Amino acid sequence: MKDVYIIGLGQTEVGEHWETSLRHLAWEAIDAALKDARLKQPDALFVGNVLAGQLSKQEHLGVLVADFCGLRGIEAASVEAAGASGGMALRQAYLAVASGMVNTAIAAGVEKFTDTVGSRATAALTSATDSDWEAAQGATPAALAALIMRRYMHEFDCAVADFAGFSVNAHANAKTNPYAMFRNTITAEAFAKAPMVADPVNMFDTAPDADGAAAVIVAADDFVWAHRDASQRPMIRIAASAVATDSLALHDRPDPLFFRAANLSAGRAYKQAGIEPGDMNVLELHDAYTVYAALSLEACGFAPRGLGWRMAGEGGISLRGKMPLSTFGGLKARGNPAGATGIYQIVEAALQLRGEAGANQVAAPRWGMAQCLGGSGSTAVTHILERVGRDS
């Protein structure tokens, strides 16, 4: 197994890109990442995407994107694991490089949500749930989050307002992220008055579905050392890469209030990296809903069972807090371009470790963790990144 490094980062602004196509969005992110890596010809491309088949009537994204990026001939395929597709694309790129089969690979994520609007888009999103036994009853992803949140509040004695801090923090951090969809500040008072999406999940609990693309270039250690430039930029090593699954349907879990896939994949990642949750300096979790932030914090060992919600109100998740969370706005305020989300998280964590996060920079981080979830926590992909000095 070779060590794998992230040598290039690219992202597009998250939002409603009415004038830009799926392939063009992907190209923008990949072009930026290749330039950042000073690389012309990568060996392989893995594209994370969820909805193109349904919303753009376009499958076969590996070749679509490779062709459009001027990379005809390379190995390319798309990867799908609902909201975890981006993380899964990086996982495939990591495995390809770590195995020694390729030297360099692109892990990209792209989502073109606005190619279809209205109830058909909502229906497409439900395909990440159990189609026969959840979607058939009219359940949506937001409804599943609401079912979890209602029961969580019932069992752990907290209220909707107790979750506000997650969204307030996300928006505060997105304000200075030029790639974020929502750069407005929100207050706990506004959160309390937000209209309902699926009671008790309100509009400020929920991440916006949006268009976006992000890409990272990964390379094997020997390639990186052979091609190192004179810059003093720190290098980013993928210290851990881990995937785990739970039941597809929420109702099939012995305890629907525990994100077991998140717990398993985080545990495997800590073991691979040889660190503990307390060592982490930057955290990007799947805050598609505020209750998912709470459950992810619990599953990954940052809060005891039933107490994840308390981290929303204690100030520890801000950029200057003990455990900075959603440092560029998270899914909530940067936006949630489904299959690209997992790659945005990696780009953001890597920017932090490089010290290139600008106004969003946390103090001298060494370890960063990104975890994305597919469906109601059915798939979890966790990556841990480490900043490595030039001389080490």
Partner 1 sequence: MEISRNWRLQKQRYGLVGEVCEHCGSKIFPPRDVCPACAEEAKTLYQFSGKGEIYSYTTVYDAPDGYEEQAPYTVAIVKLEEGPLVTAQLTDVDNGKVEIGQQVEMVTRKLREDGERGVLVYGYKFRPSWSDENLRVG
Separation between Cα atoms, residue 116 and residue 122, nearest integer Å? 10
Contact pick of 134, 205, 246, 284 for partner 1 (by CB under 8 A): 134
User: Length of the chain, please?
Assistant: 392
Coil vs helix vs strand at 5: strand
CB 46 within 8 A of CB 79: yes
* Span interacting with partner 1, options 43-51, 251-259, 336-344, 358-366, rule CB under 8 A: 251-259
Separation between Cα atoms, residue 133 and residue 129, nearest integer Å? 9
28 vs 298, which CB is nearer to partner 1? 298
Per the structure block, which two tokens stand in for 162? 């107790």
* 384 membership: H or E segment, kind and range: strand 379-388
Contact pick of 78, 126, 378, 382 for partner 1 (by CB under 8 A): 126
Binding mask 183-202 for partner 1 (x = CB under 8 A): -------------xxxxxx-
Instruction: Return the closest-CA partner of residue 269 out of 386, 106, 388.
Output: 386
Binding mask 210-249 for partner 1 (x = CB under 8 A): -------------------------------------x-x
Phi/psi for 382 (5° steps) reads -120, 130
Residues facing 109 on adjacent strands: 48, 214
Instruction: Give residues with Cβ within 8 angstroms of 309, minimum separation 6.
Output: 152, 156, 158, 162, 163, 291, 294
Closest separation in Å from C-beta 190 to partner 1: 19
Closest separation in Å from C-beta 119 to partner 1: 4
38 vs 151, which CB is nearer to partner 1? 151
132 vs 229, which CB is nearer to partner 1? 132
CB 285 within 8 A of CB 293: yes
Proportion of the chain in helix, strand, coil states, percent, rounded to 5: 40, 20, 40
Provide the CB-side half-sphere exposure for 299 (13 A, CA): 31
Tell how many helices (H) and how many strands (E) occur in the chain: 12, 11
Coil vs helix vs strand at 26: helix
Residues binding partner 1: what is the number (CB under 8 A)?
A: 36
Closest separation in Å from C-beta 16 to partner 1: 17
Contact pick of 256, 324, 368, 377 for partner 1 (by CB under 8 A): 256
CB 254 within 8 A of CB 169: no
Does residue 132 belong to the site contacting partner 1 (CB under 8 A)? yes
Per the structure block, which two tokens stand in for 18? 């009415």
47 vs 198, which CB is nearer to partner 1? 198
Contact pick of 120, 233, 271, 305 for partner 1 (by CB under 8 A): 120
Closest separation in Å from C-beta 187 to partner 1: 23
Closest separation in Å from C-beta 80 to partner 1: 19
143 vs 180, which CB is nearer to partner 1? 143
Does residue 338 belong to the site contacting partner 1 (CB under 8 A)? no
Residues 60-119 that bind partner 1 (CB under 8 A): 118-119
196 vs 364, which CB is nearer to partner 1? 196
Which residues contact partner 1 (rule: CB under 8 A)?
118-120, 122-123, 125-126, 132-140, 142-143, 146-148, 150-151, 154, 196-201, 247, 249-252, 256
